[in-house]
């Protein structure tokens, strides 16, 4: 009979004949190492950027509505090409949202800025 070894640590296996790992730690570590070597999928890139955008918007918008310079957000990795939905107000301004945190691009005094808001119930229309 062939001696089988753990795919992660190489230790000899005991038990079932189809066993591949000596314990749950080795199984988890092996799967993690394997996934690190796979190329990043498009979905993962988009999801990661959306999560980063949300984190940045949340960090800067503690008051419900605030205006910040564009460079402050982009220096932290914010990318305004990634949003989840949009909402148009009565004035025709289009706010882009990353989940519950929204932003509106605006020029003030020759500088690009974002007006940051939080989703409100009246925006459901």
Is residue 92's pLDDT more than 90? Answer: yes
pLDDT for res 36: 85
- Please give the angle made by the CA atoms of 46, 52 and 56, to the nearest 5 degrees: 145
Please check whether residue 98 is in contact with residue 82, taking contact to mean a CB–CB distance below 8 angstroms. yes
Is residue 41's pLDDT more than 90? Answer: no
Q: Rounded mean pLDDT of 94-114?
A: 96
pLDDT for res 66: 95
The model's pLDDT over 43-83, given as tens digits with 9 standing for 90+, comes to 989 999 999 999 999 999 998 899 999 999 999 999 999 99
Average pLDDT, the chain: 93
Two tokens, residue 98: 């990353």
CA 115 vs. chain centroid, Å, equals 21
Query: Is 29 strand, coil or helix?
Result: helix
* φ, ψ for residue 81, nearest 5 deg: -80, -10
Residue located via tokens 């984190």: 55
């Amino acid at each position: 009979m062939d001696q089988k070894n753990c795919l992660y640590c190489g230790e000899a296996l005991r038990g079932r004949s189809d066993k591949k790992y000596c314990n749950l730690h080795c199984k988890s570590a092996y799967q993690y190492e394997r996934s690190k070597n796979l190329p990043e999928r498009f979905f993962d890139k988009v999801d990661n950027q959306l999560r980063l955008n949300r984190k940045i918007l949340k960090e800067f918008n503690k008051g419900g509505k605030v205006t910040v310079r564009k460079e402050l957000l982009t220096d932290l990795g914010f990318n305004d090409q990634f949003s989840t939905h949009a909402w148009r107000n009565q004035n025709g301004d289009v706010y882009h949202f990353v989940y519950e945190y929204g932003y509106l691009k605006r020029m003030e005094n020759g500088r690009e800025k974002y007006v940051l808001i939080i989703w409100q119930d009246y925006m459901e229309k």
